[in-house]
């Protein structure tokens, strides 16, 4: 027993060093495979090995939270004043450019983020944090409104379905039948929430989404601050709140493609705050149970990720009890997990995707098939990585955009596994959650399973990433001794971090700074929306268009059957032949902007490229009649008698 105790003490005392050495070795191994077998994941390997190496070299020099002195400091007042000045300039630049946000706008956004981060260094325990939280919220609203309102249409793909469902609830006062709502007939809370906002505010459906789920997604990040404050102090809490509002995964989930999963994120933060509350009692228990029931009724797979995260927290506390001999985990935790599992499993078993298939069967039947017979599709591309034709600078920026937060999070996880921090049970459990959820998020696709949609897990995982990343950023800044050096360091870190986050193609489709050749614009101008409104009112047959222009069918005439519309595939584009009678819509923008062209023989596979001029010009033929032209959109019809120009 004495030997076991000595071994355990050595393990817990050097856990961060052991893990950093293992991480460095793993990073070297991944990079080596790039040169040995052309494994195109060297960027991930480089991020892992560099994060572990930096931590290993500087781990003994990290200091605790130490705010810079604000006595007789003019810079603090200048930072506060400059934030509002730059904010007003940003609004002015945005308002002067329709359908386009110039590079100056993004530079100003990044400057605002860097100013806030610099102000955070002045915060001491007991200081008022409301002014900085307000600045974080204003910056978040500016980023999200800049994306959301740059075009009159909605943004995203799933967002149109959910908007249509919410609109029907507003018009009829009831949840649409399962034939219309599909599986969301059983998960209508987000749509009802949007409908209530629309009715109470007299808003259109676009504004209703922004003022309900969009704002909820922003203001719920105050919960991140409260959790971070409890774990490590107000500096870490504020920086974590800033990071989650800048993280591109959360921006995508919260505004560019709003779904019920966006609302789940808000409930998730509430649940975590209740779990990590300093004084758990009847109020916290009530909030926890109510939020759990709401989350089960809101979405399916994102709720499953919430369950995995909470189980991981309990596992972390259990391990901490045995490794560090902390106080035993209360039975309430296990009772709550049991309550969550029963709620989720019961609801999944009685909600249906098809008349004969419950949601539970749809999710777990492929899992059983994989375990018994192996993968149903090849994972070679996932493992090897997709080859790209982008230049080195574009590739670097794109890769940094999804590796920047994990890079700082790796250092934070190692820090929280160190003897000094790991003795705190909450820090240890959160660090373990990051490890477990990332293992699932990358491991499940390697099994050949797609039905868990692990790419949608990352906004939820980011809730934990920003906590450990914020802690590590502050420790990196603590390496500097002078006040000016600390402020300069955090300013530069946040300036570059925010730049790679807000310029990614996923959230910057009007002016992609990188990936122009592969960025598909899915927001549309009024001049592009109007043809769909006009033609669907007088034509009831098949309409053929590009994807994602087909999402403008959301604005179609109420009498037009959306099932009569489809979009171009590679066979049509390559041959120039369109079989059957169709009304063909061609946007002139598709000659210079890439669109998504479906590959009919491969499910879910699309080619991203502009339409060839040859295909575009092939409709200037005797068998096609030009029936509509508004300078941006052309409409051709084989039988011109049914529609008049």
Summarize pLDDT for 560-613 with one digit per residue, the tens: 998 899 888 888 888 888 887 889 999 999 999 999 888 887 666 778 899 999
| Mean pLDDT (whole number) for 459-480 | 92
Reference 265, options 400, 457, 86; nearest CA is 457
Which residue is listed with tokens 């469902």? 165
3-state secondary structure (DSSP) of residue 566: strand
**634 has which bridge partners?**
586, 629
H or E, element range at 568 = none
Distances (CA, A) of 423 to 134, 272, 274, 419, 469: 34, 20, 21, 6, 19
| Per-residue pLDDT tens digits for 446-468 | 655 555 667 778 899 999 999 99
| Per-residue pLDDT tens digits for 15-30 | 888 888 998 898 888 8
Q: What pLDDT was estimated at residue 383? A: 42
Name the pLDDT band for 276 (thresholds 50, 70, 90). Answer: confident
Given a cut of 80, whether residue 281 has pLDDT beyond it is no
Chain centre distance of CA 203: 26
Tokens of 346: 């019961």
| Per-residue pLDDT tens digits for 84-102 | 999 999 999 999 988 989 9
| Per-residue pLDDT tens digits for 418-434 | 877 777 888 989 999 99
Angle between helices 222-232 and 458-477 (to 10 degrees): 50
| Per-residue pLDDT tens digits for 216-261 | 999 999 999 999 999 988 999 999 999 999 999 899 888 888 888 8
**628 has which bridge partners?**
635
Global pTM exceeds 0.85: yes
Q: Please give the Cα distance from 368 to 423 (Å, whole number).
A: 39
3-state secondary structure (DSSP) of residue 645: coil
Q: How far apart are the first and last CA of the chain?
A: 90
**595 has which bridge partners?**
609
Q: What pLDDT was estimated at residue 644? A: 43
Q: Please give the Cα distance from 515 to 395 (Å, whole number).
A: 8
Candidate from 177-191, 375-389, 551-565 with smallest mean pLDDT: 375-389
| Mean pLDDT (whole number) for 290-296 | 92
H or E, element range at 514 = none
Length of the chain: 645
Given a cut of 90, whether residue 623 has pLDDT beyond it is no
| Per-residue pLDDT tens digits for 109-136 | 999 999 999 999 998 888 889 999 999 9
Given a cut of 70, whether residue 357 has pLDDT beyond it is yes
Q: What pLDDT was estimated at residue 382? A: 43
Q: What pLDDT was estimated at residue 71? A: 60
Angle between helices 15-37 and 42-58 (to 10 degrees): 150
Given a cut of 80, whether residue 384 has pLDDT beyond it is no
HSE, side-chain direction, 13 A CA sphere, residue 430: 33
Q: Please give the Cα distance from 368 to 377 (Å, whole number).
A: 15
| Mean pLDDT (whole number) for 151-165 | 88
Q: Please give the Cα distance from 73 to 68 (Å, whole number).
A: 10
Candidate from 71-80, 206-215, 343-352, 358-367 with smallest mean pLDDT: 358-367
Q: What pLDDT was estimated at residue 374? A: 45
CA-based max dimension of the chain = 93
Given a cut of 50, whether residue 108 has pLDDT beyond it is yes
| Per-residue pLDDT tens digits for 400-421 | 888 899 999 999 999 988 877 7
């Amino acid at each position: 027993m004495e030997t076991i105790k000595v071994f355990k003490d050595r393990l817990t005392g050097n856990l961060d060093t052991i893990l950093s050495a293992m991480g460095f070795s793993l990073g070297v191994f991944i990079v080596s495979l790039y040169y040995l077998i052309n494994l195109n994941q060297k960027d991930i390997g480089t991020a892992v090995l560099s994060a572990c190496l930096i931590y290993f070299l500087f781990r003994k020099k990290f200091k605790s939270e130490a705010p810079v002195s604000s006595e007789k400091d003019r810079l603090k007042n200048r930072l506060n004043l400059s934030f509002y000045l730059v904010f007003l300039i940003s609004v002015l630049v945005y308002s002067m450019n329709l359908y386009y946000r110039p590079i100056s706008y993004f530079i100003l956004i990044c400057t605002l983020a860097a100013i806030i981060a610099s102000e955070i260094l002045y915060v001491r325990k007991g200081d008022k944090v409301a002014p900085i939280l307000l600045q974080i919220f204003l910056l978040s609203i500016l980023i999200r409104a800049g994306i959301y309102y740059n075009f009159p249409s909605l943004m995203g793909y799933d967002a149109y379905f959910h908007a249509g469902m919410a609109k029907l609830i507003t018009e009829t006062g009831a949840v649409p039948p399962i034939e219309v709502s599909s599986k969301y007939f059983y998960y209508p809370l987000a749509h009802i929430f949007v409908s209530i906002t629309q009715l109470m505010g007299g808003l259109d459906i676009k504004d209703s989404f922004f003022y309900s789920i969009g704002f909820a997604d922003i203001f719920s990040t105050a919960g991140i601050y409260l959790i971070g404050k409890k774990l490590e102090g107000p500096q870490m809490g504020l920086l974590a709140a800033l990071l989650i509002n800048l993280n591109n995964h959360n921006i995508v989930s919260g505004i560019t493609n709003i779904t019920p999963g966006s609302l789940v994120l808000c409930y998730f933060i509430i649940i975590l705050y209740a779990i990590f509350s300093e004084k758990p009692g009847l109020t916290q228990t009530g909030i926890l149970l109510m939020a759990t029931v709401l989350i089960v009724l809101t979405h399916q797979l994102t709720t499953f990720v919430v369950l995995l995260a909470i189980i991981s927290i309990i596992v972390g506390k259990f391990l901490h009890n045995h490794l560090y001999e902390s106080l035993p985990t209360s039975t309430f935790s296990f009772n709550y997990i049991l309550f969550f599992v029963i709620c989720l499993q019961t609801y999944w078993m009685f909600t249906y995707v098809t008349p004969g298939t419950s949601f539970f069967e749809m999710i777990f039947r492929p899992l059983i098939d994989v375990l018994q017979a192996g993968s149903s599709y090849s994972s070679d591309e996932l493992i090897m990585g997709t080859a790209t034709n982008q230049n080195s600078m574009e590739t670097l920026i794109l890769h940094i955009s999804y590796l920047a937060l994990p890079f700082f999070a790796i250092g934070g996880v190692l820090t929280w596994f160190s003897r000094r921090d790991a003795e705190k049970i909450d820090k240890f459990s959160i660090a373990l959650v990051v490890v477990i959820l990332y293992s699932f998020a990358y491991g499940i696709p390697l099994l050949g399973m797609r039905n868990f949609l692990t790419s949608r897990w990352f906004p939820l995982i980011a809730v934990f990433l920003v906590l450990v990343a914020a802690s590590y950023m502050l420790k990196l800044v603590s390496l500097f001794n002078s006040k000016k050096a600390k402020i300069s360091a955090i300013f530069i870190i946040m300036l570059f971090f925010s730049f790679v986050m807000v310029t990614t193609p996923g959230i910057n489709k009007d002016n992609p700074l990188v990936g122009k050749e592969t960025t598909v614009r899915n927001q549309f101008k009024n001049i592009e929306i109007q043809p769909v409104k006009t033609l669907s009112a007088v034509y009831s047959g098949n309409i053929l268009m590009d994807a994602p222009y087909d999402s403008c069918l959301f604005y179609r005439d109420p009498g037009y059957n959306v099932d009569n519309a489809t979009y171009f595939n590679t066979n049509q584009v390559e041959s120039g032949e369109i079989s059957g009678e169709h009304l063909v819509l061609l946007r002139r923008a598709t000659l210079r902007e890439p669109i998504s062209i479906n590959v009919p023989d491969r499910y879910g596979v699309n080619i991203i490229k502009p339409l060839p001029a040859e295909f575009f010009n092939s409709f200037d033929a005797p068998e096609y009649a030009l029936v509509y032209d508004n300078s941006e959109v052309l409409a051709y019809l084989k039988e011109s008698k049914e529609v008049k120009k």
